[in-house]
Structure 1
Amino acid sequence: MRRHLDATVATLESGLSNARVETINNKIKLTVRIAYSFRSLDNLFAMVMLRCLGVKVPLLGRA
């Protein structure tokens, strides 16, 4: 604890955290598990971009 005291105090004073980075990492890991059977990495990268960028793709037949 003493080794990281300065970093802990700086984090508390600034109010910053790595929560957003961890959220995106979790989304990417989940997407990789879902896309396990994809035939190409391009399809996987496209799926990650769609999920992490928050792009809303309208589905056919849905209002």
Structure 2
Amino acid sequence: KIMRHKDHILNTIELGVTNARIEATNNKIKLLIRKAYGFRDVDSMIDMVLLYCSDLKIPLPNRNRVKYA
């Protein structure tokens, strides 16, 4: 198996580039798909994946804490 991927292994060592970010994103998506079990349609699941992977911070109502003096 190593010989079959020899060129890719050498490229990784030579260039110092890995696919770790892609693997992490794939892992996040798989986790979200598991969480989305029971969604009525695929579009809702896709929207959730896009929202989560975009790092967009949306303030939720009733979630801001008020500090009293």
| Counterpart for residue 49 of structure 1 | 50
Aligned residue for 1:38?
39
TM-score normalised by the chain length of structure 2 = 0.79
- Note if 1:26 corresponds to 2:38: no
Instruction: Please state which structure has a larger fraction of its residues in helix.
Output: 1
Structure 1, unpaired ranges of 5+: none
> In 2 relative to 1, CA 31–3 (structure 1 residues): closer, same or farther, beyond 3 Å?
closer
Alpha-carbon distance between aligned partners in 1 of 2:29 and 2:4, rounded to the nearest angstrom: 32
Number of residue pairs matched?
A: 63
Structure number with higher relative contact order (C-alpha < 8 Å, ≥ 6 residues apart): 1
- Among all aligned residue pairs of Structure 1 and Structure 2, give the percentage whose two residues are the same amino acid: 48
Cα distance between partner residues in 2 of 1:37 and 1:9: 44
TM-score (norm 1): 0.85
